[in-house]
Amino acid sequence: MFLHQLGYEQRVFWRTREAAVFVFIFPLLLYALLGTVYSGEVDGRPSQDVLLAGILGYAAANTGLGGLAITLVVRREAGLLKRLRATPLPPGTYLASVLASTFLVFALQSVALLTLGRLGFGASMPASWPGFAGAIVLGVACFAGLGVGAASLIRSAEGVSAVVNVIILPMAFLSGAFGPTREFPSFLQAIADVLPLTYYLEVVSRVYLDGSSLHAFPGALAIVVAWGVVGAIVAWRRFGWAPRARAG
Amino acid sequence: MSAIVVRDLRKSYGPVTALRGVSFEVEVGEVFGLLGPNGAGKTTTVEILEGYRRRDGGDVWVLGHDPGAAPRALRERIGVVLQHSELTPTLTVRETHRLFAGYYERPRDVDEVIALVGLTEKGDARVKTLSGGERRRLDLGVALVGDPDLLFLDEPTTGFDPGARRSAWELVRALRSLGKTILLTTHYLDEAQQLADRVAVIRGGEIVKLGTPADLIGASRETEIRFRRDGELVVVRTEEPTAVLHRLTEEALAAGRELEHLEVVRPTLEDVYLELVEEEATPG
């Protein structure tokens, strides 16, 4: 039943043009644009590599938090989740297949980003593939947790994409996904210091560029995981299957 | 044998009491109508039976299960058509049926179900291209794909044009002849009269009348006698129509007049219903 649902999740994702463009194409486009603008070195590393790590982090937040929250809120408000609750499909199986589908999308996206980076800008391949794969899983776990949490708090299907973009874009900017934040005023850096993406980017860039193993940075790892857990707890306490906007 | 047993069902939302002791039973193979105005407690009752809402008090059995525990065994055997629900717009009609069929242990043949709800020609059409009536038929198809014994239809024809309502009614009759038990809520009287074997009129969270449509009408003993005198409509309501009619015709004959446009009518379900529901309108 899990695979049955996962297959349909994938079919629906790729067929829903808005989702496929927003979630899948947009980070690639951003990388292509910024990659064309930036050149030279950042902190002694080739800029296309630093940027690739940054966009990977942004893509994790965009796919995990953004894409998932939009999908869940739209389905909930359409009454589709409520409808599913009356079928024998166990809610856990449903959520697991939605999460697995999100993971598949992000994994494909990472491969696409690497390919684009390699062919378009001569970016490096990951120094450690197992570490890189681990970082992908970590990213989905953290931001999907936040995505389900956000979906539990957002009330209307109309507002959801605005809300997630208001969260994700500033977060990505502050965390340094689009370029170094060294010159930022200290209060912005202070905000960045609590954001999950800051630490996720640290993990990704070390793993991708230096070939470090994931557990080399327990501090950053713990913060990323903690954010995911916070999202999951909010989801656990607040997630509803019935539409919110329309009392009924 | 009862498919549904409801005894003294109670439910409040904060200070608002939605159900104040509702009791009824639905027999296997029966089409049972819950009839009432908006906000009377129809949807609350049905959603408790479907397992969506928890009850505050009373006993409820659906196909021998307590829906409050929402057992999967029960969800294998019920089909649900919600008042408002949309299905995934980018899947086709056939894909949507296949998707739902995959949730059940013993689903019906997908193409058979699509034919039953009259969507064969739309099998490969995406859901977003369907008309409103076609979408409701899709909802029904998806509710039938698990081959349920019991079907919940919450206001199945609200917003339909007359033609679409007729064909939806035909469909419900076809389902009944397949032996399905159906619980239907509606605020249309003609719908209850046309489809339901028995009707419960619910008002302010209580059942105020329960019986066959004929029983409900029969319960009211008043008969209406209408005619025109000098162009003016005269309406006489009486519990003794024979005596009243005799007197009226006698007077008319003696005066050499005609009782123009004479009609003697039994109340329709609508009259009975309005009588029941209007009592609610008086503040209390």
Confidence class for position B211, pLDDT limits 50, 70, 90: very high
Which pLDDT score, from 0 to 100, does residue B7 have?
A: 96
Give chain B positions within 8 Å (CB) of A246: 84
Confidence class for position B219, pLDDT limits 50, 70, 90: low
- B284 CB near a chain A CB, below 8 Å? no
Which pLDDT score, from 0 to 100, does residue A39 have?
A: 80
ipTM for this model: 0.89
pTM score, whole prediction: 0.86
**3-state per-residue secondary structure call for chain B:** CEEEEEEEEEEEECCEEEEEEEEEEEECCCEEEEECCCCCCHHHHHHHHHCCCCCCEEEEEECCECHHHCCHHHHCCEEEECCCCCCCCCCEHHHHHHHHHCCCCCCCCHHHHHHHCCCHHHCCCEHHHCCHHHHHHHHHHHHHCCCCCEEEEECCCCCCCHHHHHHHHHHHHHHHHCCCEEEEEECCHHHHHHHCCEEEEEECCEEEEEECHHHHHHHCCCEEEEEEECCEEEEEEECCHHHHHHHHHHHHHHCCCCCEEEEEECCCHHHHHHHHHHHHHCCC
Model confidence at B284: pLDDT above 60: no
Closest CB to B52: pick one of A1, A8, A85.
A85
| B139: nearest CA partner in chain A | A83
Convert the pLDDT of each residue in A113-152 to its tens digit.
999 999 999 999 998 888 899 999 999 999 999 999 999 9
Model confidence at B101: pLDDT above 80: yes
Distance from CA of B222 to the nearest CA of A (A): 37
Which pLDDT score, from 0 to 100, does residue A247 have?
A: 43
Model confidence at B279: pLDDT above 70: no
Q: Which range (B71-80, B251-260, B274-283) has the least confidence?
A: B274-283
Closest CB to B84: pick one of A15, A79, A89.
A79
Give chain A positions within 8 Å (CB) of B149: none
Mean pLDDT of B195-208: 92
- Residues B84, A246: C-beta atoms closer than 8 Å: yes
Instruction: Indicate which of A13, A76, A83, A84 best probes the interface with B, i.e. most B CBs within 10 Å of its own CB.
Output: A83
Convert the pLDDT of each residue in B229-251 to its tens digit.
888 888 888 888 889 999 999 99
Convert the pLDDT of each residue in A206-248 to its tens digit.
888 888 887 788 888 899 999 999 999 999 888 888 888 654 3
Convert the pLDDT of each residue in A23-38 to its tens digit.
999 999 999 999 888 8
- B155 CB near a chain A CB, below 8 Å? no
Mean pLDDT for chain B? 89
Closest CB to B86: pick one of A78, A86, A242.
A78
- B59 CB near a chain A CB, below 8 Å? no
Give chain B positions within 8 Å (CB) of A79: 82, 84-86
Model confidence at B283: pLDDT above 70: no
Which pLDDT score, from 0 to 100, does residue B224 have?
A: 84
- A89 CB near a chain B CB, below 8 Å? yes
- B125 CB near a chain A CB, below 8 Å? no
